[in-house]
């Protein structure tokens, strides 16, 4: 019997990732634009990245130094992209 405590959350996360992906795609197909829409879509992407890091990569179970690189990368990339989109207006 596979570890259900490990698989169940990952299965839920999988469907959540699919939901956020389809939402992002839908926004894209509607041709919606603007800073607020872009930041909303970026927010979805950062949440998806954190979920992959926490649950698929297993970093949620890690403490200390290795808990944070993926999160810090997402914050850094998210901040830079946000700033670049803000100055583009």
Partner 1 sequence: MCIIRLIQFWTCENRETIMEKNNWPPGDLVIWFFILAELLVFGVFFAAYAFTRANNVELFNEYQLHLDRNAALINTVALITSSYFVVRAVAAIRDDNSKGCFHWLLAALFMGVVFLVVKGMEYHHHFSLGINLSTNTFYMFYLSLTFFHFLHVILGMIILLAVALKARSGGYSAAEHTGVETGASYWHMVDLVWMILFPLVYVMR
**Residues within the interface to partner 1 (CB under 8 A):** 1-3, 6-7, 10-11, 14, 17-18, 21-22, 24-25, 27-29, 31, 33, 37-38, 41-42, 44-46, 48-49, 52-53, 55-59, 61-67, 69-70, 73, 76-77, 80-81, 84-85, 87-88
Smallest separation (angstroms) from partner 1 to the CB of 82: 9
Smallest separation (angstroms) from partner 1 to the CB of 68: 11
Burial class (CB in 10 A: 0-12, 13-18, 19+), 51: buried
Burial class (CB in 10 A: 0-12, 13-18, 19+), 41: middle
Smallest separation (angstroms) from partner 1 to the CB of 37: 8
Half-sphere exposure at residue 24, Cβ-oriented, CA atoms within 13 angstroms: 17
């Amino acid at each position: 019997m596979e570890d259900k405590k490990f698989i169940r959350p990952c299965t839920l996360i999988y469907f959540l990732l699919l939901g956020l992906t389809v939402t992002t795609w839908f926004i894209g197909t509607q041709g919606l634009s603007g800073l607020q829409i872009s930041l909303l879509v970026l927010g979805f992407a950062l949440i998806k990245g954190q979920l992959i890091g926490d649950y698929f990569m297993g970093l949620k179970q890690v403490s200390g130094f290795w808990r944070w690189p993926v999160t810090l990368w997402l914050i850094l990339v998210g901040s830079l992209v946000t700033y670049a989109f803000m100055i583009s207006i």
